[in-house]
Structure 1
Amino acid sequence: MNKKFNAKQLTLLGLMTALLLLMSFTPLGYLNIGPLAITFNVIPVAVSALALGPVGGLIAGSVFGLTSFLQAIGVGGVSMLGSTLFSINPFFSILLCFVPRMLDGFLLGYIFRSVSKLNRVAACFVTGFAAAFLNTLFFMSALILLFGQTEYMQGLINGQNILLFVCAFVGVNAVFEMLSSTVITGAVGSVLLKAGFIQTPAKKAD
């Protein structure tokens, strides 16, 4: 695969970046079902990784991180968790906003490349699942690592086992986000494959 992006790929990256910004700062990025708030913001990151590989995923992940940082400082909306953590330690808060999302997007490119050697359509669905799963895993790991010993986080943990706290913190939302990311990314990726936006290794012969 060429390291340089072609016109189709650059156009798609621009569209995914614009979509990510739109979703992050409007209700379009969220689906409220009763008490659940499901976010679709990882999907443009996953699609970028499908079409442009690790670099595309990294760029889109950086944009996702930027939107989280802006909301933490009250630009384009307010994240209560983000703003609280920013007031505790701005540097750690910046790391929390960017690193998990950038690492997620970067690794998604390699996940898609690896699985696509076996089955390209299945790789789209696997990448969609990994996008939501890894984002949750990396964010929660960074949250515990960077802020776990602060008074604020200790109050939230309230003596619970860390694993139980994480499960309670992400709740059922994470499960629905993984399902939605898997289905939507898989469907969009399948269309992009047929349209020639995604170049992948050929499926291995049996």
Structure 2
Amino acid sequence: MKNRTNVRWLTQLSLLVAILLVMNYTPLLGYVQFGPISASLLTVPVAIGAMTMGPLAGAILGGVFGATSFIQMVEGKSQMGTQLFSVNPFGAFVVSFVARVLMGLCAALIFNALRKAMPKKEKLCCVIGAICTPVLNTVFFMGFLVLFFYNCDYVQNVAQTLDATNVFMFIVYLVGVQAVIEWLICGVVASAVTVPVRKYLKLN
């Protein structure tokens, strides 16, 4: 029984990793571009994995997401990412990779806490968990971005272009539209998939 469970877990994880990679290398599926940054839809499979498979899967899927993002920085496929990598490669790694690992891990932990607090409200827990994933992505990404890069010339130029006079306004102006899109899409799609999957796997 334990071996069967492990095989099923690995199979589910492999499927979600494959979906992540397909979305990443199919721009119309994985990203919606808004100026210097893009709204990522890769939070959807991360949210599904975090809520159906637990913290380890959430961290791994977040790591896959982060690895593809960092590779795009290195390859020069992301306008902002390329600039950040040229300024501070380590900071760019934290912003792109570490932030996404924490996103997947924390999304799963939050969902588990919600399930314990509201054991009879499965659908609501899935909706909240699905929305939390892109919200955490935004929080960790922008938090590390400000921590490592806010004072660099490129980010200051972006802030001036956006007419952002402080850190808070910079964050709001930079991620406002794309963040809302990420939250809505992930909240709808991830919860719609997670509820029947958890029911099928008898996790509720």
TM-score class normalised by the smaller sequence: 0.7 to 0.9
Indicate the percent of aligned positions where both proteins have the same amino acid.
37
Given the superposition, is the C-alpha separation of residues 182 and 59 from structure 1 closer, same or farther in structure 2, using an over 3 Å criterion? Answer: same
Distance 1:7 1:182 in 2: 28
1:66-96: CA deviation from partner (whole Å, max 9, x where unpaired): 000110011xx70111111111111111111
Given the superposition, is the C-alpha separation of residues 143 and 31 from structure 1 closer, same or farther in structure 2, using an over 3 Å criterion? Answer: closer
The aligned residue for residue 147 of structure 1 is: 149
Distance 2:50 2:194 in 1: 10
The aligned residue for residue 106 of structure 1 is: 105
Name the SS of the counterpart of 1:91 in structure 2. helix
The aligned residue for residue 204 of structure 1 is: none
The aligned residue for residue 17 of structure 1 is: 17
Which deviates more from structure 2 when the two are superposed, residues 135-144 or residues 156-165? 156-165
Question: Greater helix percent: which structure?
Answer: 2
The aligned residue for residue 79 of structure 2 is: 80
Distance 1:11 1:121 in 2: 24
- Write the mapping of 1:33-182 to structure 2, written as runs, cut at 5 A: 38-74=39-75, 78-117=77-116, 118=118, 119-158=121-160, 160-182=165-187
Distance 2:97 2:30 in 1: 18
Q: Which runs of no fewer than 5 residues in structure 2 stay unpaired?
A: none
Whether the aligned pair in 2 keeps the contact of 1:116 and 1:122 (CA below 8 Å) is no
Task: Name the Cα RMSD after superposition.
Answer: 2.2
Whether the aligned pair in 2 keeps the contact of 1:48 and 1:60 (CA below 8 Å) is yes
TM normalised by structure 2 equals 0.87
Distance 2:154 2:43 in 1: 27
TM normalised by structure 1 equals 0.86
Query: Once the 2 structures are TM-superposed, how far is the Cα of residue 12 of structure 1 from its aligned partner?
Result: 1.3
Query: Once the 2 structures are TM-superposed, how far is the Cα of residue 55 of structure 1 from its aligned partner?
Result: 0.6
Whether the aligned pair in 2 keeps the contact of 1:62 and 1:98 (CA below 8 Å) is yes
Residue 188 of structure 2, aligned match among 176, 180, 183 = 183
Distance 2:64 2:33 in 1: 23
* Matched residue count: 193
